[in-house]
Structure 1
Amino acid sequence: MKKKIILVASLLISVWLSNELLAQENGEKYGADSVTCIQNNSLYYEFYKQWKKSDYKNESWKDALPSWRWVFVNCPRSTINIYLHGEKLMKKLIKSESDKAIKEKYIDTLMMGYDQRIQYFGKEGYALGKKGVDLYKLRPSAYEQSYSILKKSIELQGNASNGPNLIYYFRSAEKMVKAEKAEKSILLDIYDQSSEIIDYNIINAKSDKKKKSWENVKGNLEVSIEPYASCEDLIGMFTPKFEESPNDIELLKKIIKKLAKRNCTKYPLYQNAVENLHKLEPTASSAESLGKMYIKKEEYSKAAEYLNESINLCEDPNEKADIHYLLASVYFQIKQYSTARTHCYKAIKNRSNDGKPYILIGDMYVATAKSCGDNDLTKNVAYWVAVDKFKKAKSVDSSVADAANSKIKTYSQYFPATETIFFYDLKKGDSYKVECWINETTTVRTSD
């Protein structure tokens, strides 16, 4: 087999020489001994092909190594295949070697290969990514070096970074944190940076397979950040920075983003950061955030103040609809029902296919039904208009149909009985105006 390979290689050399050796630049490309360079390139490649053909299971890689080594040392710029194939060959050699000292030298050669590839064939960001990952895997104690290599790779590659690079970038930084060579905040920065790259690649994936691969990377990263992103961790990291620079807009945005992402909005640091940012850069979003924050604290008047400000600053109809609905819920809590209903209708005006505001109006009618009457009839007529709203909700928005149907079934049982409407000179189908704050006309119905 070896004789056959050598014969094939010789034939290839003659063709190669006729086409390449005459070129003026070959002296530099193929080194001082271009004939031997081409010969060894052909020899190692023939053995490499045999190894690849066996799905990298036979021993041809051992036959490829001597010629490959010669090319790697003596004509390193002759072809990029030296590095593409050399990476595979060196990893096999490293895996097969039991002597630790020798194995370390082989790892050095693999790392040198990445450096030479960059020197002669460019694509620095991509090659550094492979180098950083392999260094982390093969020489775990070199995690700081891995971190630096992968950091530069990701800076160069951006959204073109590979998934494994992001994972091992985080892991190398994690080792630095555990060794007290870096602050925990570095992990959050890496998480944010990597998340943007991952999300970009999920959105722009050209196949389901690639999308699934990036989703797996995302899942891996989420699991990795979990031990370092508790609310207590985040508060501990950012409180000193906030106290030092309470009006640093970029810092405030960072604090707000990170605390909100981990659902840590109940802490004073979040409130202080949002309020400071709102003073410096008032926006619909910051006002809404403050409104939500005060809702959680059950300070509804203060929440209403900020949500009204948010509406005035907001231009997007969908966002306005959300804020009006939220504001309606706040006014419901403080029993300002007419104002709450007004905001429900404003939410509907901005998004007519949303059933939630109708549900909320119906809930308010239910809540005030008994207080809006003084007899067996008037204490129950509000349920008519409540059910009307529930029916309207499901007619415009199928997503609330189940909730609406449940409420319709429940509150239809509270309609006045037949004998009650008869006593007040009414009959089914009559038009009836519900008084009190409701002031709506509906149709008489009974519970039986």
Structure 2
Amino acid sequence: MKTRFTIATVVLLLSSMFTLKAQTLESKYGLDSAQTVLNASLYVEMVKQKNYEEALPGWRYVYNNAPAYGKTAYIKGVTIMRGMLRKTKNPKYIDTLMMVYDQRIKYFGKDRKYPEGWILGRKGGDLFKYKKKHIPSVKEAYSILKKSIEMQQLKSEATVINYTMEASGILVKAGEIEPEEVIDNYLLFMDMAKKQIDAETKESKKENLDNARKNVEQIFFKAGVADCETLSNIFTAKFEANKDDMVLINKILRMLNRQECEDGALYAMVAERKYELEPNADAAHNLAKMFIKKKEFGKSKNYLEQAIELEEDAEIKADLHYKLASIQFLQGQLSASKSNALKAAKLKQNWGLPYILIGKTYASYSQKYGSSALDHKKVFWVAVDKFKKAKAIDPECAADAQKLISDYSKHFPGKEEAFFEGIKNGDVVKIGDWINETTKARLNE
């Protein structure tokens, strides 16, 4: 009671300072400025104490009689409704919570930092969170969340995207939306996540965004529309009926590529049709992936070479060179494999995989290099050099690189056999042939 008395006294003193002028419900202080300030002060104090029940009367006065007073009434209103809902489990507070969001949009929906789209995201999220077992409410929440994302675009919060994806998974299982809509959401959200991550400069925020992306993937897989057979069932008839629709063709290929369904009949039909309509780098790359999956490496190499010639994006081109280098390695074309791996590394800085591949090409050539057992073992020095470089520049492949370093270091020459050729630890040694590298001798005991 003392708190209430103190607040009331201060407010009444302050209210006497207001200049008398015509007031309406739409003006900041409503019809009675003194009552508005008094009730606002009372409910804010009660919210600080987490006494939501006692905060209700004061908050309700401001909400009803001075709706334009300030955003605080709506921020605290959400806190109060959530608190009352936790305490009473009474669903009426969900309805009031929705009204709070609606009225905030009416009076503060054009706020630059937290506009209507942002508020809708919070509204849809709360409706979904509190009523996810009630399908009509999930449908309503889903609609609100989709509108929020449409308005906010790349400013959409990760939680809003996750709730939307989760809601679509529930609705497709209930037969309320088509599987293709879930797929469209997934592709949109994954594209948004990539753009958000690329635009972000702080590593901590990048990590949070990446975690959100992984969560979207996990929710999508649980929706039951992600396996190759289901995708084929969804899209085969659509493709057969719309073989010239490039939007559909690209959507199908993106989805099948994401789920690694390149060896199916649908992928073959769609990839070949795209190449007929638009024989560009992407179309050639799709066919290359299909033939890689089928282990038809001769055909895949032809399409990879076409894709490399046509591709303009440096990072994608690096990936193409690496894939070509990997196939050449499998076919024993070690010098050509090294050449393409180097091109991949040059196009994409701090990428360790090409150097790991080069190290493997060297190691594979060891028995053919030189004429003695010592010559064969010398090659492992330059192989390990490449593994070390991969580890130094690329944390993502550091663990694999370290394992290769440990495995291949065991094959270094011993001190005794090197002694007869006058080689000591630390000597500079040239490894010739197509390898053409200079390294330092490292000898095992």
Identity fraction in percent: 31
Q: 1:428 to 1:180 in 2, by over 3 A?
A: same
Is 1:348 paired with 2:348? Answer: no
For 2:123, the equivalent position in structure 1 comes to 131
Deviation at 1:139, TM superposition (A): 3.4
Is 1:390 paired with 2:383? Answer: yes
For 1:107, the equivalent position in structure 2 comes to 94
Quick check: 2:168–2:182 contact (8 Å CA) kept in 1?
Answer: yes
**Match of 1:181, SS?**
coil
Greater shift in the superposed pair: 181-190 or 65-74: 65-74
Is 1:312 paired with 2:309? Answer: yes
- The residue type equivalent to 2:59 in the other structure is W
CA–CA distance in 2 between the matches of 1:77 and 1:239? Answer: 55
Q: 1:405 to 1:48 in 2, by over 3 A?
A: closer
CA–CA distance in 2 between the matches of 1:3 and 1:327? Answer: 80
TM-score norm. by structure 1 comes to 0.74
Map 1:162-201 onto structure 2 (within 5 A): 162-201=157-196
Q: Quick check: which has more Rg, 1 or 2? A: 1
Could you report, residue by residue, the CA deviation over 1:133-171 in whole angstroms, capped at 9, with x for unpaired residues? 222233342111111111111111112222222222223
Quick check: 1:285–1:310 contact (8 Å CA) kept in 2?
Answer: yes
Deviation at 1:254, TM superposition (A): 1.4
Is 1:121 paired with 2:113? Answer: no
Quick check: 2:356–2:386 contact (8 Å CA) kept in 1?
Answer: yes
Q: 1:439 to 1:115 in 2, by over 3 A?
A: closer
Could you report, residue by residue, the CA deviation over 1:280-332 in whole angstroms, capped at 9, with x for unpaired residues? 22233432332232122122221222122223224566765654554355455
Is 1:7 paired with 2:4? Answer: no
**Match of 2:24, SS?**
helix
Could you report, residue by residue, the CA deviation over 1:36-61 in whole angstroms, capped at 9, with x for unpaired residues? 3x23322222222322332x1x4xx4
Q: 1:284 to 1:363 in 2, by over 3 A?
A: farther
- The residue type equivalent to 2:35 in the other structure is N
Deviation at 1:243, TM superposition (A): 1.9
Q: 1:308 to 1:385 in 2, by over 3 A?
A: farther
CA–CA distance in 2 between the matches of 1:291 and 1:249? Answer: 19
- The residue type equivalent to 1:245 in the other structure is N
CA–CA distance in 2 between the matches of 1:378 and 1:27? Answer: 99
For 1:362, the equivalent position in structure 2 comes to 362
Q: 1:320 to 1:366 in 2, by over 3 A?
A: farther
- The residue type equivalent to 1:130 in the other structure is R
CA–CA distance in 2 between the matches of 1:328 and 1:6? Answer: 79
Quick check: 1:287–1:307 contact (8 Å CA) kept in 2?
Answer: yes
Map 1:28-47 onto structure 2 (within 5 A): 29-30=26-27, 34-36=30-32, 38-47=33-42
CA–CA distance in 2 between the matches of 1:139 and 1:317? Answer: 47
Deviation at 1:367, TM superposition (A): 7.5
Deviation at 1:366, TM superposition (A): 5.3
Is 1:252 paired with 2:246? Answer: no
Q: 1:345 to 1:6 in 2, by over 3 A?
A: closer
- The residue type equivalent to 2:297 in the other structure is Y
Corresponding pairs, count:
405
Quick check: 1:191–1:221 contact (8 Å CA) kept in 2?
Answer: yes
**Match of 2:140, SS?**
helix
CA–CA distance in 1 between the matches of 2:329 and 2:387? Answer: 21
Map 1:6-25 onto structure 2 (within 5 A): 6-15=8-17, 17-18=18-19, 21-22=20-21
Q: 1:382 to 1:214 in 2, by over 3 A?
A: closer
Quick check: 1:324–1:344 contact (8 Å CA) kept in 2?
Answer: no
CA–CA distance in 2 between the matches of 1:211 and 1:332? Answer: 35
Deviation at 1:256, TM superposition (A): 1.6
Greater shift in the superposed pair: 109-118 or 68-77: 68-77
CA–CA distance in 2 between the matches of 1:261 and 1:201? Answer: 19
Deviation at 1:259, TM superposition (A): 1.7
**Match of 2:16, SS?**
helix
Deviation at 1:118, TM superposition (A): 1.2
**Match of 1:29, SS?**
coil
TM-score norm. by structure 2 comes to 0.74
Give structure 2 stretches of 5+ with no counterpart: 110-114, 347-351, 393-400, 423-432, 439-445
Could you report, residue by residue, the CA deviation over 1:149-201 in whole angstroms, capped at 9, with x for unpaired residues? 11111111112222222222223222221221111222222223333444444
Quick check: 2:366–2:377 contact (8 Å CA) kept in 1?
Answer: no
Deviation at 1:411, TM superposition (A): 8.8
